Structure 1
Amino acid sequence: MTWHITDSVDDFLAGAGEFLRASPVENTLLLTVSETVRERGPNAFGAEPPIFGWCDGGAFLRTPPRAAVLSAMSPAAAADLAGRLGGTPLPAVAGPDAVAEAFSREWQRRTGATPRVTGRMRLFRLGALVPPTPPAPGRARVAGPGDRGLLLDWTNAFLRELGEPPTADELVDDRISYGGLRLWEVDGEPVSMAGATRRDAGMVRVLSVYTPPEHRTRGYAGAVTVSVSQAALDAGASDVVLFTDLANPTSNALYQRIGYLPIEDRSVVEFAS
């Protein structure tokens, strides 16, 4: 099995694009991250350039210092990829449970690093959108350049809660540029935020749903998520997806109440030397 490894997003999309777009829901991360790099350049997610790879029936990417993201692939392909990356510093991988397990087993064999599952995610796809009842007070609006400071603060607070590194300012600027962030306001005060990716292969992913602690348990997260989801549908999306942290039963229940249906589970595996 031949893996092609590159730092060129154009080469990656030329080699893996057809495979990724055949299953846009399952490949949401690989599609949207690679398209963001193509739009914004190699520093879209940080100072270190990304790395991409594909083979017949599989693909991956990594935007350092984050985990490598693995598509669905055979256990043999995952093991082969671990062999190809064996000389590369790699703190973690994320992918479908069986793929992450196969990669981690081979990575441990080759490097001696001990794998540890540190997170479980669930991928959801929107069925029929169900606005929450009773509706939360307030209204949604598209965030603009004047909201940049607040959006940066809230995005980084969201990432801290997930244990992720801070985002690049350029990433928030990119989302502002295409109207990809919305705020829920009550009496003119922003109380919650949600974002969405650009549409790719008919798919949009809802992301960065965040409510500051002082505004939680009032229905604002559900309201702003419904607004972002409806906007994606109105703009022509055929698939609207999102990820949840399986350790957070509140968000998992919320998204199912408003019409999201579970698709698959994924693992985040960290490696300790």
Structure 2
Amino acid sequence: MAWTQTTDAAELWRRAGPWLGEQPVENAPLLAEVAHLLVTDTAPAGLECGWWSDVSGVVRGAYVRAPRHNPLLTRMPRAALDELVALPESSADAVGVPGVVADDVVQAWAVTGTRLTPARSFTVHVLEGRSAAPSCAGRPRIAGPADEPMLHEWFDALMAGLPGDPSDRAYVVDDPLAAGGLVLWEVDGDPVAMCSRSRVLADTVRMGACYAPGGEAAYVEAAFGATAVEARRHARHVTVLAASGDEQEAARLAAAGFVPAATRVLLTAPAES
């Protein structure tokens, strides 16, 4: 039983792709990051990832640590976690994990002297029903190359309101735009909102950023719903993360046809005072 670590997402996908695809909804955040890396840069500076194999050589666990992001883990046996925390490269004071192994992760990290506690819990919702009709005028269209300057301006405005957010321009705008995965909502021919999605991997996509420069919620919802419908044409599992316990957000997603399907937890080590 052992971990194999790599700095190449393509190698991770070759060896651990089937395992990542066994729980596609639960692993949607990992799949979205790997899908992006596979078509942009499979080995960017700072990328760390790996997979754990049992005595028969079968992969039963994996993780991805994209540059400037917290490590994301799949579910895995306790033995894999015990071995992972013993690796020098695995040190982290925040880690995203499936809810089903959160307690095991806390216990494994505690052995090394790191006290992790749940900071945030997320519900992974998956599209199963039909979205409600838009409550505003307009229609969707797939964004094209001519929209790129506007979309970069919108991205800058979006990030200005989210200080500390590690979202990459390439992930939010450039790659979805190139893949036909960025939808605009237009009113009288003028774009008023956008929403993007990840590339398809393991028949799964993750909904991305939505934004309306004027702040109109109805336009954001219309763009979100149109993007979900478009995404379902390409993937069986269309997913989105939302804070667990947020009833208003759960109701919003339910109106768009999404149902709760899995839980992920962000575990962090409290800062020393």
Describe the shift of the 1:140–1:123 C-alpha distance in structure 2 as closer, same or farther (beyond 3 A). same
1:99, 1:211 → 2: CA distance? 37
Q: Secondary structure at the match of 1:31?
A: helix
Q: Secondary structure at the match of 2:2?
A: coil
2:107, 2:67 → 1: CA distance? 22
8 A contact 2:172–2:208 mirrored in 1: no
Give the drift of 1:147. 2.7
Give the drift of 1:171. 5.7
8 A contact 2:123–2:262 mirrored in 1: yes
2:186, 2:151 → 1: CA distance? 14
Question: What is the TM-score with the length of structure 2 in the denominator?
Answer: 0.84
Paired position in structure 2 for 1:259? 257
Residues 246-265 of structure 1: CA deviation (Å, up to 9, x unaligned): 36543322111121110111
Paired position in structure 1 for 2:138? 138
Paired position in structure 2 for 1:79? 82
Residues 147-191 of structure 1: CA deviation (Å, up to 9, x unaligned): 334433444526954852241447622211111111212234433
Give the drift of 1:146. 3.0
Paired position in structure 1 for 2:216? 216
Paired position in structure 2 for 1:197? 198
Q: Secondary structure at the match of 2:136?
A: coil
Q: Secondary structure at the match of 1:72?
A: coil
8 A contact 1:206–1:242 mirrored in 2: yes
Describe the shift of the 1:15–1:42 C-alpha distance in structure 2 as closer, same or farther (beyond 3 A). closer
Give the drift of 1:224. 1.4
8 A contact 1:152–1:169 mirrored in 2: no
AA partner of residue 27 (structure 2): N
1:31, 1:152 → 2: CA distance? 25
Question: Which blocks of at least 5 consecutive residues in structure 2 are unaligned?
Answer: 53-58
Residue 145 of structure 2 is aligned to residue 124 of structure 1: no
8 A contact 1:48–1:63 mirrored in 2: no
Map 1:24-35 → 2, pairs under 5 A: 24-35=24-35
AA partner of residue 262 (structure 1): P
Match of 1:244 among 225, 239, 242: 242
Map 1:34-183 → 2, pairs under 5 A: 34-42=34-42, 48-55=45-52, 56-84=59-87, 86-110=88-112, 112-132=113-133, 135-155=135-155, 157=158, 161=162, 163-169=164-170, 172-183=173-184
Question: What is the TM-score with the length of structure 1 in the denominator?
Answer: 0.84
Residue 231 of structure 2 is aligned to residue 229 of structure 1: no
1:161, 1:35 → 2: CA distance? 24
8 A contact 1:12–1:53 mirrored in 2: yes
- Equivalent pairs counted in the alignment come to 264
Residues 207-248 of structure 1: CA deviation (Å, up to 9, x unaligned): 112344x4334x22322122112112334x222111112365
1:159, 1:19 → 2: CA distance? 37
Describe the shift of the 1:248–1:34 C-alpha distance in structure 2 as closer, same or farther (beyond 3 A). same
AA partner of residue 77 (structure 1): A
Q: Secondary structure at the match of 1:38?
A: helix
